[in-house]
Amino acid sequence: MTAFLIAARRSPVMPRGGAFASLTPHELAAPVIRAALADAGVAPDEVDELILSNALGAGGNPARVAALAAGLPERVAGLSIDRQCAGGLDAIVLGAALVQAGLARVVVAGGAESYSRRPLRYATAPGEPPRAYDQPPFTPWPDRDPEMTAAAAALADRLGISRIRQEAWAIRSHALAQASQPEILPLLGQGRDAFTRNLTPRLAARAPVLVGSITAATTAVAADAAGFVVITGADRAAQAPRALLIAASATLGARPEEPGLAPVAAIRAVLAQLNRHPDQMDRVEMMEAYAVQALACLDATGLPEDRVNLKGGALARGHPIGASGAILAARLFHDLDVGMGLAAIAAAGGIGTALVLQA
């Protein structure tokens, strides 16, 4: 069986502590879910499952909470996943698998993240006081588990990707992001991504240095947002106003020391599945957690830079971790008119996910 995206919506992306600071993940998710279903012409009681990615919440099952808040039937149990930054795309991959296997007719999938409302985390050990921590372990080996910005700086050094080149990519991202963004559902009076601005070379050059060649201008800011898609089979897709085939997907692990390069293997895998060359992708949505991460993946895969993030990327809007992959898919759904489009994202621990849609 085949699976199709028949609708996709997202909220604006607000920096941590901004306009969405009071909203919980399910409060971000519910209106976006309802809007996506309305776009698709799907009634809530037709939904069989909701898959929600969340990386920073308090655990439990936020997908169930979001399903109830969105008015889905009580029989929708909700499935929460955490694959860090890759989770939003992986939720869509899992939803497609349910449809392809004949286990569901309609699945809503995506992610919701409130960086502003994330709980404080403490590690405990016998005989020791609780210790606050920010980044959980992503490998069993501390020496192979770098802090994300340090990993980005090391990658830039190894590959010779200069600060100037990173700044140029960030400037491009902001400039392109000032175009229309039709996939956005206005929320709390906000209709655009708040962080997008006129980033000039002078402003980029003056940005604070974080580590090595990595600066505040070439790093995506922590953010709050939600993004969801509606997935169904061919019979239901034939009735939808718009439908894109989920043509291929892959999630693969790579070297944990270089998480920024992890999407390369996944991108190569989906291209191999389709027997396509990189230049046969008509649109590309590449995650920009760091400018160097996007540039390194483009250099390694040969994807055409002039088709990448044509309305800007995460450097210009922010990075709501669990939702970022779903936002890539939502943008691709709205912007791909013909041919094939690819979305790809890296995650901590050396994980990469890639998804190809076909118009």
Establish whether 297 is a catalytic residue: no
Shared domain check, 303 and 154:
yes
On whether residue 136 sits in a domain, the answer given is no
Listed residue (287, 282, 293) closest to 337, CA to CA: 282
Shared domain check, 232 and 307:
no
CB 152 within 8 A of CB 292: yes
Shared domain check, 258 and 239:
no
> For 252, how many CA atoms within 13 A lie in the half-sphere containing its CB?
18
Shared domain check, 292 and 233:
no
On whether residue 56 sits in a domain, the answer given is yes
Q: Which of 26, 174, 319, 334 is catalytic?
A: 319
Q: Say what the pLDDT of residue 183 is.
A: 86
On whether residue 139 sits in a domain, the answer given is no
On whether residue 189 sits in a domain, the answer given is no
Q: Say what the pLDDT of residue 53 is.
A: 98
Q: Which of 26, 85, 297, 334 is catalytic?
A: 85
| pLDDT tens digits, 190-213 | 999 999 999 999 999 999 999 999
Shared domain check, 70 and 216:
no
Low-confidence residues in the chain, pLDDT < 70:
180
Shared domain check, 70 and 170:
no
Shared domain check, 346 and 258:
yes
Q: How far is CA 288 from CA 51, 106, 107, 155, in A?
A: 24, 30, 27, 14
Residue 14: partners with Cβ closer than 8 Å, 6 or more residues away: 20, 21, 190, 193, 194, 223, 224, 225, 318
Q: Which domain holds residue 320?
A: 144-182+197-220+247-358
Establish whether 85 is a catalytic residue: yes
On whether residue 131 sits in a domain, the answer given is no
Distance CA 56, CA 133 (A): 12
Shared domain check, 151 and 8:
no
Here the tokens at position 358 are 């076909």
CB 266 within 8 A of CB 297: no
Shared domain check, 176 and 267:
yes
Shared domain check, 156 and 61:
no
Give the predicted TM-score (pTM) of the model. 0.96
Shared domain check, 201 and 344:
yes
The CATH number of the domain holding residue 282 is 3.40.47.10
Shared domain check, 237 and 272:
no
Please state the domain count of the chain: 2
Q: Say what the pLDDT of residue 135 is.
A: 84
On whether residue 38 sits in a domain, the answer given is yes
On whether residue 283 sits in a domain, the answer given is yes
Q: Say what the pLDDT of residue 223 is.
A: 98
On whether residue 190 sits in a domain, the answer given is no
